[in-house]
């Protein structure tokens, strides 16, 4: 009996080793790129996968979205301002066979491509665009990366610029520029207010010149306004027509 058991033990061990080498289980978000004698034969999964030991090999590929932090890059903008910019990249593998066959390490390759693309795209824009138009720049970088990584079976879903670090001296320059811009707007608004007030005064003068009693009512309104205040000011209304008449008389006497 022991002789029979000793005969079957090696067979059982070989079967266990064979099954351990042949059976693979892939999760729902995983795919297996299968090679038979070194040649690509297809993509398998998810679920139970049976391989021929020593004949077939399988490379696991994760299909979930990968978040890649792009390190801070030293960038010279189009207007010659030095900034440090870092970003975050969201991508996933959509064609596992290309991610394995076309590129040695798709994670490292995508990361290096993201760094170079970030520098080249942002270097074509001014600092004001970099600070104010991040959405458009994010879309530009995303489109370029998505086009270049298509051959690797990778889909770039989104690119977000995280931080833009500027030198302290440049921050002070920007602050002075913003202050000057606010002063300019204040002067323009003040000038526009003066212009509108002048137009309204002109309209009021035209209305009053057509109706002399309107000027008298304005005199009385001004006197009533002054009289309500606690002061010792005495106001004597003096007709403007009399002033003009006196001026004309003095002018004629001077000519005579």
Mean pLDDT, the chain, whole residue set: 82
Which whole number is the average pLDDT over 217-232? 65
Task: Point out the least confidently predicted range of 82-91, 102-111, 128-137, 143-152.
Answer: 128-137
Q: Distance between the two ends of the chain, CA-based, in angstroms?
A: 159
Q: What percent of the chain has pLDDT over 90?
A: 36
* The predicted structure's pLDDT at residue 251: 65
227 neighbors 237 (Cβ within 8 angstroms): no
Q: What's the length of the chain?
A: 256
* The predicted structure's pLDDT at residue 7: 65
* The predicted structure's pLDDT at residue 80: 83
Q: Which residue has the tokens 């004949």?
A: 55
Both tokens of 252, joined, read 């004629």
Q: Examine the pLDDT at 65 and tell me if it is beyond 60.
A: yes
Rounded Cα gap, residues 169 and 175, in angstroms:
10
Q: Among the ranges 77-81, 111-115, 195-199, which has the highest mean pLDDT value?
A: 111-115
* The predicted structure's pLDDT at residue 67: 94
Whole-prediction pTM: 0.65
Burial class (CB in 10 A: 0-12, 13-18, 19+), 45: buried
155 neighbors 146 (Cβ within 8 angstroms): yes
Rounded Cα gap, residues 89 and 68, in angstroms:
5
Q: What is the DSSP letter of 36?
A: E
Rounded Cα gap, residues 185 and 139, in angstroms:
33
pLDDT digits (tens, 9 = 90+) for 84-129: 999 999 999 999 999 999 999 999 999 999 999 999 999 898 888 8
Of 107, 100, 95, 105, which is closest to residue 69 (Cα–Cα)?
107
Which whole number is the average pLDDT over 206-218? 69
Which whole number is the average pLDDT over 49-71? 90
Q: How confident is the model at residue 153 (pLDDT cuts 50, 70, 90)?
A: very high
CA 255 vs. chain centroid, Å, equals 77
């Amino acid at each position: 009996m022991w002789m029979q058991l000793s005969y079957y033990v090696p067979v059982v061990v070989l079967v266990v080793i064979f099954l351990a080498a042949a059976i693979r289980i892939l999760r729902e978000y995983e795919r297996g790129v299968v090679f038979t004698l070194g040649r690509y034969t297809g993509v398998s999964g998810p679920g139970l996968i049976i391989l021929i030991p020593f004949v077939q090999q399988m490379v696991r590929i994760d299909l979930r979205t990968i978040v890649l932090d792009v390190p801070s890059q030293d960038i010279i903008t189009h207007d010659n301002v030095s900034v440090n910019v870092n970003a975050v990249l969201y991508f996933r593998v959509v064609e596992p066979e290309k991610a394995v066959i076309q590129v040695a390490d798709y994670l490292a390759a995508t990361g290096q491509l993201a760094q170079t693309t970030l520098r080249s795209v942002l270097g074509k824009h001014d600092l004001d665009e970099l600070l104010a138009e991040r959405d458009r720049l994010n879309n530009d970088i995303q489109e370029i990366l998505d086009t270049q990584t298509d051959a690797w079976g990778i889909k770039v879903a989104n690119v977000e610029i995280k931080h833009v670090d500027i030198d302290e001296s440049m921050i002070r320059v920007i602050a002075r520029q913003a202050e000057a811009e606010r002063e300019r707007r204040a002067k323009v608004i003040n000038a526009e207010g003066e212009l509108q007030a002048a137009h309204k005064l002109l309209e009021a003068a035209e209305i009053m010149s057509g109706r002399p009693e309107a000027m008298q009512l304005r005199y009385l309104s001004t006197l009533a306004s002054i009289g309500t205040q606690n002061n010792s000011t005495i106001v004597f209304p003096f007709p403007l027509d009399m002033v003009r008449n006196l001026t004309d008389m003095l002018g004629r006497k001077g000519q005579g």
